[in-house]
Structure 1
Amino acid sequence: MIELIRTNDAVIISFVESLMRDAGIVFFVADQNMSILDGSVGILPRRVMVDADQADQARRILTDAGIANEIRRK
């Protein structure tokens, strides 16, 4: 799996999850439980990971959704 986005913004994470789910793209939110360790201060970003073979499609979806600035570059 490769990292698609990394952010502290729970709204963006939720939006990306929804987009990936709707498109049938396999994804995983890494470091989701790390926010418990930081006391929910939001200093530890979460990462949305996707299968490498679906990465280009996932990037296109985020670009079409207007959040291309969130995409992690290779």
Structure 2
Amino acid sequence: MIEVFRTNDPVELNFAENVLRQAGLEPIVLDSETAGAYAGALPFIKRRIMVIDEEAHQARSALKVAFDDLPDD
């Protein structure tokens, strides 16, 4: 498994998960419970999205396109 995304923002996390699922990948989120339990106290604990090694390039490409296409505020 390879990490392809890391954040504490639940909206970004959900968006990234959905992007990967729409690309036909099966992302796995790690550290949700730990990050949630220590929210605010330990902000350096972030939730991580992992994919299998063979899908890492495809996952990173999908996330790059999705996040680059977001409108600037």
Fold shared by both chains (TM-score > 0.5): yes
> Which structure has the greater CA radius of gyration?
2
Aligned residue number for residue 32 of structure 1:
32
Question: What percent identity do the matched residue pairs reach?
Answer: 38
* Alignment coverage as a number of residue pairs: 66
Root-mean-square deviation (CA, aligned residues, Å) is: 1.5
Provide TM-score, normalisation by structure 2.
0.79
Aligned residue number for residue 18 of structure 2:
18
Q: Gaps spanning 5+ residues in structure 1: where?
A: 68-74
User: Structure 1 segments of 4 or more deviating over 2 A?
Assistant: none
Q: Deviations over 1:25-64 (max 9, x none)?
A: 02100001113421x3271210000111001111110111
Give 1:16 deviation, angstroms.
0.6
Provide TM-score, normalisation by structure 1.
0.78
Is the 2:20–2:63 contact (alpha carbons within 8 Å) kept by the matching residues of 1?
no
Alpha-carbon distance in 2 for matches of 1:10, 1:26: 18
